[in-house]
Amino acid sequence: MLDYKYIRARKKKQAIFCEIYESVKNFYNFPRNLFTNPPLSAIIAGMKKVIEVEDLCCKRCAERAEKKLLLLDGVTGAKANYKRNTVFVESVLSDGELAACLEDAGFVVRAVRPRKGIFG
């Protein structure tokens, strides 16, 4: 005996999956030339940066730096570590804009460099 509720639920899940698959496929379905367009991994890797800062003495200072960076439009994430005096940022902004933002908050920026992951 067939369970029609199960069949309907299964078809509904398949339909939802197909809609999601098509939307993702259409989103990434843009012309890519390996010689002119950089790969997506290179674009994402350029977004992650490490800012070395002086005077991150406590948790409150780290939170202040994070909140100041998150107010910028191009910043998607910020995490400050007051023990190492570093701020990890995911952003499409330039290094100078990020440094200027932290200097406006009262911190001294020593360096801005790209973040290196495990694989590169």
Tell me: do 17 and 59 sit in the same domain.
no
Average pLDDT over residues 74-88: 92
Whether 120 maps to a domain, the answer reads no
Cα separation, 86 vs 78, whole angstroms: 11
| Same domain flag for 53 and 93 | yes
Q: Is residue 119 part of a domain?
A: no
Higher pLDDT, 73 or 119: 73
* Domain identity same for 27 and 49: no
Do 88 and 47 fall within a single domain?
Answer: yes
CATH number of 94's domain:
3.30.70.100
89-92: long-range contacts, CB 8 A cutoff, minimum separation 24 = 89/48, 89/49, 89/50, 89/51, 90/47, 90/48, 90/49, 91/47, 91/49, 92/47
84-119 residue pLDDT tens: 999 999 988 889 999 999 999 999 999 999 888 665
% residues pLDDT > 90 (the chain): 40
Distance CA 49, CA 108 (A): 17
Are 27 and 57 contained in the same domain? Answer: no
pTM: 0.60
Residue 25 structural domain: 1-31
At residue 109, φ and ψ (nearest 5 deg) are: -90, 125
State which amino acid sits at residue 9. Answer: A
Whether residue 19 is found in the same domain as residue 68: no
Distance CA(53)–CA(80), nearest Å, equals: 10
Whether 21 has a pLDDT exceeding 70, the answer reads no
- Is the pLDDT at 120 greater than 50? The verdict is no
For residues 28 and 115, which has the higher predicted lDDT (pLDDT)? 115
